[in-house]
Amino acid sequence: MSARRLGRPEVLLPTAAAGLTVTAFALLPAYTDAGLSSFDVYNTFQIFARLGLLALALGLTMIAGEFDLSVVGTYALGGMLTVQAGQEHYAYGLLAAVAAGAAIGLVQGGLIAGLKLPSMPVTLATYIALLGLTSALSGGLTKTYSNAAVTLWVDRTVLTYFSPRSLITLGLFVLAAVVLSLTRWGRELRAIGGDRRASRVAGVRVDRLLVGTFVASGVLSALGGSLLSFSLGSANPDPGVQPLIVAAAAALLGGVSLTGGRGNPLGLLGGIMAVALLTEIVTVAALPAYVTQLFFAGLLGIIVVIDAPDLHSALVRQRTRLRAGTSRPSPAGAQPGSQT
């Protein structure tokens, strides 16, 4: 039973990814001349804090069978609003970012659930519009945040390895995990991602749940942007496509499937930690930065090929043909195959 549970992709992938990278990280001194210090662990969590909420936001919509490309737009807007509205008090900035994130999620979720639009073109359009809005708000310039006390506070060392920023991010992952495993939302989220029509027939309030998921995604990405702005002491109107791509890689490593219906927040945590560790390993080992990209490319390539349905069915066909060839005399031989 436990072996079978471990074999499921939503458990196997993040466990393997996190396990491999932790091992590679711990063995770093063995194959490079760089020693490891507690600062490296702290730094890993800082990288995690930078992209964690983005991966969580994207991952939640992917579990529901949607794909929210707009997360990076909301991330940029959240960061910019935090800086521009939060000059007097950080809470105003935070509030503005969260409200904007929720409003964006509400509009997108409403369109996608209400009109049954596919999420990819809608969120792509929103992504472009949000980047434009952020750029218009800032005049295309990077804005600095003058409240240095906040900047110092979010990144100060807590318990040797953490900062308030990484602890907040971790806390939100735990919160998402607890909410999704203790309430029926977790099951319903996977249900609407797996088979939307069946879950609607079974009584899941699909539309409401979809809107909720997009609101959660908007709020989480806006918060991620806020925390980044506090930490950098500035906001950049265009974060580029890199954060989106890294967040998608983290979500896929976290055992979420692009077809939906699979995954959980703890898996996502494993996925993004693997990404953060990998980035830190490359930094500590002083490898050129593009090595990380090649590594992610290889990893994603393997995931996507393993996941490919036609390849899978071709392999199954091949296997059943072989088995049918060897055990044609006894019809019972086909039985075990058809049961699994």
Residues near another protein, by CB under 8 A: 67, 111, 115-118, 120-122, 124-140, 237, 241, 245, 248-249, 252, 258-259, 288-294, 296-301, 303-305, 307-311, 314
CB of 60 to another protein, least distance (A): 17
Pick the closer one to another protein by CB: 191 or 250. Answer: 250
CB of 307 to another protein, least distance (A): 7
Helix (H, G, I), strand (E, B) or coil at 143: strand
Alpha-carbon span 296 to 298, nearest angstrom: 5
Is residue 10 within 8 A of residue 256, CB to CB? The reply is yes
Pick the closer one to another protein by CB: 191 or 249. Answer: 249
CB of 309 to another protein, least distance (A): 5
CB of 246 to another protein, least distance (A): 9
Pick the closer one to another protein by CB: 21 or 151. Answer: 21
Pick the closer one to another protein by CB: 119 or 199. Answer: 119
Pick the closer one to another protein by CB: 130 or 180. Answer: 130
CB of 286 to another protein, least distance (A): 15
Within the chain, residue ranges assigned H as helices are 2-7, 9-26, 28-31, 38-63, 71-85, 90-114, 119-138, 148-154, 164-182, 185-194, 196-201, 206-232, 242-253, 265-284, 290-307, 309-326, 335-339
CA angle (50 as vertex; 257, 47 as ends), nearest 5: 90
Is residue 75 within 8 A of residue 222, CB to CB? The reply is yes
CB of 132 to another protein, least distance (A): 3
CA angle (172 as vertex; 233, 106 as ends), nearest 5: 85
Residue found by looking up tokens 């999620």 in the block: 105
Pick the closer one to another protein by CB: 27 or 136. Answer: 136
